[in-house]
Amino acid sequence: MERKKALKESLTGYAIISPWLIGFFFLILGPIVASFYLSFTDYDLLSSPNWIGFDNYINILTNDPRFRQSLTVTLIFVFVSTPLKLIFALALAMLFNTGRKGTGFFTTIYYIPSIIGGSVAIAVVWRIIFGRNGAINDILTTLGLEGMNWIGNPDTALTVLILLVVWQFGSPMIIFLAGLRQIPTELYEAASVDGANKLQTFFKITIPMLTPVIFFNLIMQTIGGFMIFTQAYLITQGGPMDSTLFYALYLYETAFEYLRMGYASAMAWILLLIIAAITLLLFKSSSRWVFYESEGGR
């Protein structure tokens, strides 16, 4: 009897999660298997896939300068923009946590770029204001500095895109703010009784108590950084001279412009491995610097 009831509950459970279950098998698991298979083939969408073993992987790793360029660009981008974004996010969260009036209004203002920053509209704006006759050069000239061709110059094009994503520090800022509000005030009171100065409280209390949130933001922003596509596609088209050829952009070109589906699938798997390795490294390192209260502290 009990068994029958459990079976019935199981079936009801499956019926209720069935939309996700179907989606998971057809849109995630199936495609993952297919993608793995395709990565060992030559496939142009028109004729049937042609098994070529490890050729795609070998070619990508040994024989494709654009792959190396795209990986370099993406790594530079991630390792420059993520720390900058988090530093801004933390600095402003600290500032907004001082309990002054009107902080709600200002956090909202600072959060707006995070909400709309990935849109095509903002890409259009970026392309114009960083253009030769754009607002940035106009401001620089007014300040007596020399303007430059930001987007057309291989040395500065990546900077323009880094500025665009760093500008969107609002959502990590809000997560930091929520984290800061969780820190018990007694800790600060005790520190001030002990005569600690602001710098000491920051490094001995705020930062350690915030490490779980820092870790979370670091993981999310790093993974997000590898995915950048829309902005580069619209603002620089990967150029000039491949200086903004992000990994996702090169993968898109390979798959949907040159219809090299097998090669692009192999690229996707390499990307997955790189992201997995970096995430794993971050998780491994976290035991040394992330402080969880429930463990009693170290």
Partner 1 sequence: MKKKRTLSDIVYYTFVILFGFVMIYPILWMVMSSLKPETEIFGNAASLLPGEWQWGNYSRGWEGFGRTGFDVYFRNSAIVTGLVVIGTVCSASLVAYGFARINFKFKAVLFACLMATVMLPVQITLIPQYILFHNVGWVNTFYPLVVPAFLGGQPFFIFLLIQFIRGIPRELDEAAIIDGCNKFGVFYRIILPLLKPALVTVVIFAFMWTWDDFLAPLIYLNSANLHTVTLGLRNFMDADGGTNWGPLLAMSSLSLFPQFILFAFFQKYLVQGIATTGLK
In the window 52-91, what residues touch partner 1 (CB under 8 A)? none
Minimum CB separation of residue 243 from partner 1 in Å reads: 20
CB of 130 to partner 1, least distance (A): 10
Identify the residue among 61, 135, 145, 277 touching partner 1 (CB under 8 A): 135
- Indicate the residue among 209 and 297 with the shorter CB distance to partner 1: 209
Separation of alpha carbons 49 and 39, rounded Å: 10
Shortest reach from residue 209's CB to partner 1, in Å: 16
Task: Give the shortest CB-288-to-partner 1 separation in angstroms.
Answer: 22
CB of 122 to partner 1, least distance (A): 7
Q: Select from 3, 4, 19, 48 the one that contacts partner 1 (CB under 8 A).
A: 19
Contacts 24+ apart (CB under 8 A), 124-129: 124/234, 126/160, 126/164, 126/231, 126/235, 127/151, 127/234, 127/235
Name the minimum Å distance from CB 52 to partner 1.
Answer: 16
Greatest C-alpha distance within the chain: 86
For partner 1, the closer of residues 29 and 76 by Cβ is 29
Please report, as residue ranges, which positions from 24 to 53 form the binding site for partner 1 (by CB under 8 A). 24, 26-32, 34-35, 38, 45
Token pair recorded at residue 169? 């520090």
Instruction: Pick between residue 146 and residue 296 the one whose CB is nearest to partner 1.
Output: 146
CA 35, CA 170: separation in Å to the nearest integer? 35
The one-letter code for the residue type at 210 is: L
* C-alpha closest to that of 211 among 182, 252, 241: 182
CA dist list (Å): 109 to 72, 114, 256, 284: 34, 10, 38, 36
Out of 41, 56, 70, 118, which residue is the one contacting partner 1 (CB under 8 A)?
118
Nearer to partner 1, 58 or 91 (CB): 91
Cβ distance to partner 1 smaller for residue 192 or 296: 192
Which of 148, 196, 207, 220 touches partner 1 (CB under 8 A)?
220
Q: Is residue 124 near partner 1 by the rule CB under 8 A?
A: yes
Of 17, 87, 145, 280, which lies in the binding site for partner 1, with binding defined by CB under 8 A?
17
The answer to whether 103 and 96 have CB atoms below 8 angstroms apart is yes
Footprint on residues 242-271 left by partner 1 (CB under 8 A): 248, 251-252, 255-256, 261, 264-265, 267-269, 271
Smallest CA-to-CA distance from 154 within 248, 238, 68 is with 238
Cβ count within 10 A of residue 90: 23
Q: Which one of residues 58, 145, 227, 241 is an interface residue with partner 1 (CB under 8 A)?
A: 227
- Is 233 within 8 Å of 248 (Cβ atoms)? no
Q: Residue 210 interacts with partner 1 (CB under 8 A)? A: no
* CA gap 251, 259 in Å, rounded: 10
> Site for partner 1 (CB under 8 A): how many residues?
92
Q: How far apart are CA 123 and CA 83, in angstroms?
A: 22
Judged by CB under 8 A, does residue 160 bind partner 1? no
